[in-house]
């Protein structure tokens, strides 16, 4: 794959762009990579096309990071309305994402909060002006968060030092002179965690620390049939060639012998497989499972023609296996 910044530059500045096509690829990136891309968007953004599109990508990345904080996220329309709505239980936060504070209108966030009967508003930008701060203080229902601060919250959340419950207490404005409210938040972050019971280790080679595993990917899946489907595909490919490897990476499982020919990603109820074959070939082989034609820029990111197939059940797996076998031949010819 090409570097994420180069991929982003290609799709924003050189390709016909619909940012929605990028979301699945962006969601597959590690959090630190997304934070880095926020900075890249801030550096490259401008008022005129194509650089104006960096603001749209910035908006989607902020919303993806909202999901990683534990919120249910409604992605905003690029032309009207708020950039995102983050929900958690009864709490609803209106989110505005800006590549520069110069384009932030705090009043607009406040108006969205009132129109949509939300709990509060949250503006996210690289920095804020004194006018931004004064406006937020005057309205009282809007909080300001730098992208650097967002990164720190994610570091605490992904390090299991901060829960989404505590995050909500931080992000939603509260009128309180009682310090116990803030002490509760600090205590939840700072209190020692109970050490888990150490399992009895069997003799043998110790596990490699930090190395992704199949189990880490498959535990995301709620629908048991998806796990069984993965196992059937894996066994079929190993019968086809016992030297094929399924290699867990942080956000996907790569399928390869000497070259990657497929990438598998998992969600609660489905498996998404990027198959390294032209879409026209894939559509001739796969008839019963949904296929997605990827944009040229996304295919360039993967380094060759490819398409995505969505697999939700064990039905008609033969055609998926045949496509993977063909991708194997294509990669190793």
| pLDDT tens-place string over residues 20-64 | 777 877 887 788 889 989 999 999 888 877 788 899 999 999 999
* Nearest CA-CA partner of 132 in 123, 141, 159: 123
* 278-282, Cβ contacts within 8 angstroms, sequence gap of 24 or more: 278/305, 278/306, 278/307, 279/305, 279/306, 279/307, 281/323, 281/326, 282/307, 282/309, 282/323
CB contact burial 217-227 (16+ within 10 A = b; e otherwise): bbeebeeeebb
Torsion of the alpha carbons at 102, 106, 111 and 117, rounded to the nearest 10: 120
Please report the pLDDT score of residue 223 as a whole number. 76
Look up residue 38 and give its two tokens.
């926020």
Residue 288, CA distances (Å) to 221, 291, 316 in order: 22, 9, 7
Domains of the chain (ranges, CATH numbers): 4-190 (3.40.91.70), 214-332 (3.90.1150.30)
Please report the pLDDT score of residue 200 as a whole number. 46
The phi and psi torsions of 203 (rounded to 5 degrees) equal -60, 150
Contact 250, 298 (CB under 8 A): no
* Nearest CA-CA partner of 281 in 252, 254, 309: 309
- For 185, which DSSP code? H
- Is the pTM higher than 0.75? no
Look up residue 77 and give its two tokens.
């329309």
Task: Please state whether the peptide bond connecting residue 262 to the residue before it is cis, i.e. omega within 30 degrees of 0.
Answer: no
Please report the pLDDT score of residue 20 as a whole number. 74
Q: Quote the strand ranges of the chain, DSSP E.
A: 72-75, 84-88, 91-97, 120-125, 142-146, 245-248, 253-256, 260-266, 271-275, 291-293, 307-311
How long is the chain? Answer: 333
Please report the pLDDT score of residue 205 as a whole number. 47
Look up residue 132 and give its two tokens.
């931004």
Alpha helices in 49-179 (DSSP H): 53-68, 106-115, 130-139, 147-158, 164-171
Look up residue 170 and give its two tokens.
């931080």
Please report the pLDDT score of residue 207 as a whole number. 45
pLDDT in tens, 243-294: 999 999 877 899 999 999 999 988 888 899 999 999 999 999 999 999 988 8
Please report the pLDDT score of residue 98 as a whole number. 96
Q: Which residues in the chain show pLDDT less than 70?
A: 1-4, 7, 10-11, 13-18, 175-179, 181-182, 185, 188-210, 222, 297
């Amino acid at each position: 794959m090409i570097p994420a910044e180069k991929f982003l530059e290609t799709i924003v500045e050189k390709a016909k762009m619909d940012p929605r096509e990028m979301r699945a690829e962006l969601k597959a990136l590690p959090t630190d990579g997304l934070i880095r891309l926020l900075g890249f968007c801030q550096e490259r953004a401008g008022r005129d096309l194509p650089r104006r599109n960096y603001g749209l990508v910035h908006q989607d990345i902020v919303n993806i990071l909202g999901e990683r904080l534990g919120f249910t996220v409604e992605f905003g329309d690029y032309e009207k309305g708020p950039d995102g709505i983050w929900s958690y239980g009864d709490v609803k936060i209106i989110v505005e994402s800006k590549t520069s504070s110069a384009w932030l209108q705090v009043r607009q966030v406040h108006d969205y909060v009132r129109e949509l009967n939300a709990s509060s508003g949250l503006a996210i930008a690289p920095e804020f002006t004194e006018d931004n701060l004064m406006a937020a203080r005057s309205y009282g229902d809007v909080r300001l968060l730098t992208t650097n601060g967002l990164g720190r919250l994610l570091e605490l959340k992904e390090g299991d030092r901060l829960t989404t419950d505590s995050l909500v207490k931080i992000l939603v404005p509260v009128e309180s002179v009682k310090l116990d409210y803030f002490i509760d938040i600090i205590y939840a972050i700072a209190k020692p965690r109970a050490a888990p019971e150490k399992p009895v280790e069997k003799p043998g080679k110790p596990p490699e620390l930090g190395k992704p595993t199949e189990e880490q990917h498959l535990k995301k899946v709620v629908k048991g049939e998806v796990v069984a489907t993965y196992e059937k595909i894996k066994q079929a490919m190993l019968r086809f060639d016992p030297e094929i490897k399924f290699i867990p990476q942080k956000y996907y499982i790569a399928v390869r012998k000497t070259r990657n020919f497929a990438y598998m990603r998992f969600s609660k109820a489905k498996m998404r497989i990027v198959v390294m074959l032209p879409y026209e070939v894939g559509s001739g082989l796969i008839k019963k499972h949904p296929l997605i034609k990827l944009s040229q820029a996304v295919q360039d990111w993967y380094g060759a023609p490819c398409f995505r197939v969505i697999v939700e059940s064990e039905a008609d797996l033969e055609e998926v296996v045949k496509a993977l076998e063909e991708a194997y031949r294509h990669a190793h010819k």
